[in-house]
Amino acid sequence: MLTSASRWRQLFPQPCPLIGVIHLGPLPGSPGWAGDLGALEAAALADAEAYLSGGVDGLIVENFGDVPFWRGSVPPETVAAMTRLALAVVRATQRPVGINVLRNDALAALAIAQASGGLFLRVNVLSGATVTDQGVVEGVAAELLRRRRLLGAESVRILADVLVKHGAPLAPLSMAEAVSDVLERGGADGVIVSGTGTGRPTDPVDLEQARAAAGGAPVLIGSGASEQTLQRLSLACDGVIAGTALKRNGLISAPVDADRVSALKRLLPQSAQPQPLP
Q: Is residue 277 part of a domain?
A: no
**Percentage of the chain lying above the pLDDT 70 cut:** 94
3-state secondary structure of 185: helix
Per-residue pLDDT tens for 202-259? Answer: 788 888 999 999 999 999 998 777 777 776 676 678 999 999 999 999 898 999 999 9
Q: Is residue 202 part of a domain?
A: yes
Higher pLDDT, 259 or 1: 259
Q: What is the pTM of this model?
A: 0.93
Strands, E assignment, the chain? 18-23, 58-62, 97-100, 120-123, 129-132, 135-138, 157-162, 167-169, 190-193, 219-221, 240-242
Q: Is residue 207 part of a domain?
A: yes
Residue 129 has φ and ψ, to the nearest 5°, of -140, 140
Q: How far is the C-alpha of 41 from the C-alpha of 45, rounded, in Å?
A: 6
**Percentage of the chain lying above the pLDDT 90 cut:** 74
CB contact at 8 A, 247 and 255:
yes
Q: How far is the C-alpha of 163 from the C-alpha of 165, rounded, in Å?
A: 7
Q: Is residue 274 part of a domain?
A: no
Sheet holding 135-138, edge to edge: 135-138, 129-132, 167-169
Task: Report the DSSP beta bridge partners of residue 221.
Answer: 193, 240
Q: Is residue 98 part of a domain?
A: yes
Confidence of residue 273 (pLDDT cuts 50, 70, 90): very low
Domain count, the chain: 1
CATH of the domain at 117: 3.20.20.390
HEC letters along 13-69:
CCCCCEEEEEECCCCCCCCCCCCCHHHHHHHHHHHHHHHHHHCCCEEEEECCCCCCC
Q: Is residue 213 part of a domain?
A: yes
Per-residue pLDDT tens for 160-209? Answer: 999 888 888 988 899 999 999 999 999 999 999 987 766 677 788 888 99
Q: Is residue 278 part of a domain?
A: no
Task: Report the DSSP beta bridge partners of residue 256.
Answer: 247
pLDDT reading at 265 higher than 60? yes
Q: How far is the C-alpha of 101 from the C-alpha of 103, rounded, in Å?
A: 6
Q: Is residue 273 part of a domain?
A: no
For residue 1, the model assigns a pLDDT of 63
Domain containing residue 34: 4-265
